[in-house]
Amino acid sequence: MNEKKDLSHLDTHDHAGHGHDHTGDSCCSTTQTSDCGCEHPQGKGKLPTYFWPLVSLILLLMGLGVDFFKWVTVPAWARVLWYGIAYLPVGLPVLKEGWQSIKKGDLFTEFFLMSIATLGAFAIGEYPEGVAVMLFYAVGEMFQHAAVDRAKGNIRALLDVRPKEALTLQNGQYTATNPETVAVGAQVQVRVGEKIPLDGKLLSQKATVNTAAISGESRPQTLKKGDKVYAGSINLDGVIEFTTTRAYRDSSIARILDLVQNATARKSKTELFIRKFARVYTPIVTFMAIGLTLLPYFFVADYVFGEWLYRALIFLVISCPCALVISIPLGYFGGLGAASKNGILFKGASFLDAITQVKHLAMDKTGTVTRGVFKVVDIKGFAFAEAELMQYLIAMEGQSTHPIAKAILEYPTEGKIPRAENVAEIAGKGLEGTVNGKKVLVGNKALMQAHNITTPDEIVSIVESVVGIGIDGQFAGYVIIADELKDDAVQAIARIKSAGINTLTMLSGDKDSITQKTAADLHINAAKGGLLPEDKLHEVEQLKSQGTGKVAFVGDGINDAPVLAASDVGIAMGGLGSDVAIETADVIIQTDQPSKIATAIQIGRSTRHIVWQNIAMAFIVKGIVLTMGAVGIATMWEAVFADVGVALLAILNAIRLQRMQWG
């Protein structure tokens, strides 16, 4: 398997409104980390993120108290030193970021503006203003990171679904070994409930495995000696042994993970509005500030350089996009919080935007709209009443450990269950035995035919699993076992359609007949079954190529991971879904309720509206105060408090998202 990429980069998100991506090798920001690899004062054994801004605030307030109340006489050099110390905790990280950006050739950043404005304030003796501007910016950074950390904090540590070890036969005993080092032809043992670590050929007489994560098939598979076993399948019954036929790098799991990596490489990275805007906006306001300082020399008779420099610094403070840096992530913070309260986790603010543009939704079946477990859904008795028929059936299935038997045994019955005797399993067909002195057969059509029992024609048209019951040579009835729809599945599809989704498609690895029936029950017009992971990927790529809107995919298995990565918005069922699907997805439904998909779309749209309201509000306030500053009416303090006012209004606006009712 190609290891040049690391799946850890699948946990990709943008720092909303910050001005740079939280992806790849780029550093996050100035005051803390979100697992990006940057060194910031956060995490175990480190200071809380608010510590240094709090230190700066205390020093600033003490300095202002001395300035205003004249408690003591302070020499000029001591005043500069005091405010300089107050400035460093919040200013030094920004100065370092600005310098790093300049070294990379990116001069006009918000770090540059903040550095010039605050250092300029110190240069003309406006020390408190310089500290206050940078402190306010640091608080904005804290809000920004809180939005991302809140979302990430609700997502459990991403797990590596690749099997951790393989029990290989060495010197007459089974020893735990790294699957990647196991050679072809090695003998491997797998215990009950463990994942099969490599592809191979079964040595045991039989095995029952769950392949839903690999193929999407909802029904557990019964294998015989010599059958193929696939890495990632789960052993459901008894200790089994097999010989490996492929090295780990060529196994089913490795191929699927490779598809995930390639699909992720095709996923476009969303750039939020503020980053695009700042590339044009920042150079313009920088040169306007220079012009505001120098050009009046040619037009004003009593030109005073210090006065116009102060106005230019006010202009820089007001025009700095730090208010947007705060107001935008605050909007997303509200959206992420509202989603979290509803059991929905967005891995980044950019996906709140992306989900609002989804026009095509493709979804898996097993585990997504169905429970992924068997249940008795129908009983048909011919020679016996249903209650009596189920007593015979449960008596027989009580002697079996097959997953279908477990589903039958969970069916509620009244009265005492009789004892089954002389029960024998007929490989691939079912069970035979004696109940209340009567010969009972339980199994498929082949078992009935082998005992010359005629089955009704209606059984042929049933797409679900059918368990027939024969009693004393007559067909007594049958039971239908099926994967049950989730409680809110029908409601979920109706809500998704009402949300304006143009195309709704079901794509499943389960049998096409079962897939088509499930889609019909949910009123989904388009459905395809029997699909391999690469087939699902192809179908979603086809939808994306239409160019008529973003494509979202909803799934829960390992086999869904490649298409989750390739879709514009990948949505995973996080309660029971596979780890690799959760790791790859952009949005996680923690409650496993498909109706939450429509809720996620609603929250995304409301968040987008509020974010743009905050942007408009910031520009309007800035425009007013910029005009006042240019004509000498506004001071730097007014400029700072104008930004504070915008931020407070943005907070109140964003809080509305937390109080809204969804779905």
**Residue 425 burial by CB count (10 A; 0-12/13-18/19+): exposed, middle or buried?**
middle
- Dmax over Cα atoms in the chain, in whole Å? 119
Amino acid letter for position 537: L
3-state class (DSSP) for residue 544: helix
User: Can you read off the two tokens belonging to residue 203?
Assistant: 């040595």
> Each residue of 258-270: b (16+ CB within 10 Å) or e?
bbbbebbeebeeb
Can you spell out the DSSP letters for 389-416? HHHHHHHHHTT---HHHHHHHTS---SP
User: Can you read off the two tokens belonging to residue 409?
Assistant: 């045994």
CB 358 within 8 A of CB 550: yes
User: Can you read off the two tokens belonging to residue 88?
Assistant: 């460093």
Q: How many residues does the chain have?
A: 663
The continuous run of DSSP H or E covering 478 comes out as strand 474-485
> Each residue of 469-486: b (16+ CB within 10 Å) or e?
bbbeeebbbbbbbbbbbb
**What are the Cα distances from residue 112, in Å, to 19, 101, 206, 261, 490?**
12, 8, 69, 36, 54
Can you spell out the DSSP letters for 581-594? HHHH-SEEETT--T
Nearest-angstrom CA–CA distance, 253 and 286: 53
364 is catalytic: yes
Nearest-angstrom CA–CA distance, 207 and 221: 8
* Active-site position among 14, 353, 364, 568: 364
Which of 501, 148, 159, 140 is closest to 346 using CA atoms? 148
User: Can you read off the two tokens belonging to residue 347?
Assistant: 């891995």
> Each residue of 66-93: b (16+ CB within 10 Å) or e?
beeeeeeeeeeeebeebbeebbbbbbeb
Which of 320, 326, 325 is closest to 121 using CA atoms? 320
CB 528 within 8 A of CB 507: yes
User: Can you read off the two tokens belonging to residue 651?
Assistant: 């907070």
Which of 568, 8, 9, 534 is closest to 266 using CA atoms? 568
Neighbour order of strands in the sheet with 503-507: 344-346, 587-589, 569-573, 550-555, 358-363, 503-507, 526-528
Can you spell out the DSSP letters for 218-247? -SPEEEETT-EE-TT-EE-SS-EEEEE-S-
Task: Please tell me what DSSP assigns to residue 456.
Answer: P
Q: Give the CA count within 13 Å in the CB-facing half-sphere of 299.
A: 7
Sequence-ordered alpha helix ranges (H) in 23-166:
51-69, 76-103, 110-123, 127-153
Nearest-angstrom CA–CA distance, 356 and 337: 17
What residues are annotated to the active site?
Answer: 364
